[in-house]
């Protein structure tokens, strides 16, 4: 595969901590599909929303009661990082989890009851909401259009793979923050929201430089959970993936996700992320994985979303 300039993906810290800019929060979700899931419906009858809001609050409580423990588990292993300068970037989702605990509107169905179909502005650009995932078995997915994290109602705090998925998706929150604070016109915001809110696009879409960064840092955290076993296993090209599942306390049905991460790891190391760039073989592997699933690929360039044509790869 020819390497184009589109795939020289630089990594920058995406923290917007302390910013009090406003972000529009929409009362009704679009019928967007993510990861092959059925469309998420918009405003529902109040009785249904109340019931849903109670379940969402249980999930929020579960996440917030245990997120600090998972974050500490990763932070305590930072001394094992091959490139210690990555520590600040790896900690970013943990900081967002902490910040969002102060968000009074983080229960999306509860917000719908109050908003009555209207949008409003969040008080902090880092804030986002939670709702229930429509993808069974998928721990979390983030929707930039609605600033909503859809989480599996069975999210398991004892399952480190569930946390890694939530971590990955929270990196997309940070990327969305970074994009929004750079917008300088309503037209740019409208274009960005239209990209994410398009109903039934011909093909599913992905911003590929966002995905490579989220997967890179997810792999770094996964490696820390194994106490550097994963990275060392790449050098010999084999690893006991059942052992990895046990380390993560993951479910048997998550074995496919573990196998995918192992394949990504084989392309990510031995170089890893350094000098603010991800390894080209790893980037190509992520690109090819999404191409194989039929995704349209986009990249960010000077405040614009650019579709990548097949002849550019």
Task: Specify the long-range contacts of residues 248-254, CB closer than 8 Å, at least 24 apart.
Answer: 248/159, 248/160, 248/161, 248/164, 248/222, 249/156, 249/158, 249/159, 249/160, 249/161, 250/159, 250/160, 250/161, 250/162, 251/159, 251/161, 253/137, 254/137, 254/159, 254/161
On whether the CB atoms of residues 274 and 295 are closer than 8 A, the answer is no
Summary mean pLDDT of the chain: 84
More confident position, 184 or 272: 272
Q: 10 falls in which pLDDT band (50, 70, 90)?
A: very low
Q: What is the largest CA-CA distance in the chain?
A: 58
What is the DSSP track for 70-124?
HHHHHHTTGGG-SSGGGHHHHHHHHHHHHHHTT-TT-BHHHHHHHHTT--EEESS
Q: 201 falls in which pLDDT band (50, 70, 90)?
A: low
Q: Which pLDDT belongs to residue 195?
A: 87
Question: Strand 296-301 relative to strand 304-307: parallel, antiparallel, unpaired?
Answer: antiparallel
Judge if the upstream peptide bond of residue 270 is cis by omega within 30 degrees of 0. yes
Distances (CA, A) of 118 to 22, 29, 290: 16, 12, 35
pLDDT tens per residue across span 133-189: 988 889 999 999 889 999 999 999 999 999 999 999 999 999 999 998 888 888 888
Domain boundaries, the chain: 5-312
Say if residue 308's pLDDT is above 50: yes
Percent of the chain residues past pLDDT 90, beyond the cut: 64
More confident position, 184 or 260: 260
The position carrying tokens 């360039």 is 301
pLDDT tens per residue across span 220-255: 999 999 999 999 999 999 999 999 999 999 999 999
Q: Which pLDDT belongs to residue 114?
A: 82
Q: Which pLDDT belongs to residue 1?
A: 33
Say if residue 191's pLDDT is above 50: yes
Lowest mean pLDDT among 22-31, 181-190, 294-303: 22-31
Q: Which pLDDT belongs to residue 275?
A: 85
pLDDT tens per residue across span 64-109: 999 999 999 999 999 999 999 999 999 999 999 999 999 999 999 9
In b/e form, how buried is each residue of 107-117, taking b as 16+ CB within 10 angstroms?
bbbbbbbebee
On whether the CB atoms of residues 145 and 32 are closer than 8 A, the answer is yes
Lowest mean pLDDT among 9-13, 137-141, 287-291: 9-13
Helix axes 160-182, 255-268, angle to 10 degrees: 60
Nearest to 25 by CA among 110, 108, 133: 108
Sign of the C-alpha dihedral computed for residues 14, 20, 24 and 27 taken in this order: positive
Q: What is the mean pLDDT of residues 33-49?
A: 42
Lowest mean pLDDT among 13-17, 29-33, 160-164, 253-257: 29-33
Distance CA 74, CA 78 (A): 7
On whether the CB atoms of residues 28 and 42 are closer than 8 A, the answer is yes
Task: Tell me how far apart the terminal alpha carbons of the chain are, to the nearest angstrom.
Answer: 6
Question: Strand 205-207 relative to strand 296-301: parallel, antiparallel, unpaired?
Answer: parallel
């Amino acid at each position: 595969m020819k390497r184009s300039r589109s795939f020289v993906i630089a990594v920058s810290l995406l923290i917007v901590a302390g910013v009090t800019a406003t972000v529009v929060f929409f009362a009704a979700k679009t019928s967007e599909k993510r990861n092959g899931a059925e469309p998420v419906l918009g405003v529902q009858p109040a009785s249904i929303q109340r019931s849903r809001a109670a379940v969402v609050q249980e999930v929020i409580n579960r996440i917030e009661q245990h997120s600090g423990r998972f974050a500490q588990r990763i932070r305590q292993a930072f001394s094992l990082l091959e490139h210690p300068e990555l520590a600040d970037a790896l900690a970013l989702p943990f900081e967002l989890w902490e910040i969002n605990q102060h968000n009074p509107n983080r229960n999306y169905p509860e917000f719908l009851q109050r908003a009555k179909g209207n949008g409003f502005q969040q008080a902090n650009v880092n804030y986002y909401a939670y709702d229930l995932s429509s993808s069974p078995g998928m721990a979390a997915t983030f929707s930039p259009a609605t600033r909503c994290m859809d989480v599996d109602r069975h999210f398991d705090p004892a399952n480190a793979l569930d946390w890694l998925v939530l971590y990955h998706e929270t990196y997309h929150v940070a990327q969305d923050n970074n994009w929004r604070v750079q917008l300088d016109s309503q037209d740019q915001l409208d274009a960005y929201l239209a990209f994410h809110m398009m109903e039934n696009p011909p093909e599913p879409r992905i911003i590929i430089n966002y995905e490579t960064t989220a997967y890179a840092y997810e792999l770094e955290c996964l490696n820390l959970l194994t106490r550097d076993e994963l990275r060392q296993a790449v050098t010999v090209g084999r690893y006991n993936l059942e052992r990895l599942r046990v380390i993560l306390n993951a479910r048997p049905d998550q074995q496919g996700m573990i196998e995918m991460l192992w394949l990504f790891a084989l392309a990510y190391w031995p170089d890893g992320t350094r000098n603010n760039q991800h390894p080209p073989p790893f980037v190509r592997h992520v690109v090819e994985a999404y191409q194989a699933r039929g995704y349209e690929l986009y990249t960010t360039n000077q405040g614009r979303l650019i579709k990548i044509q097949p002849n550019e790869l």
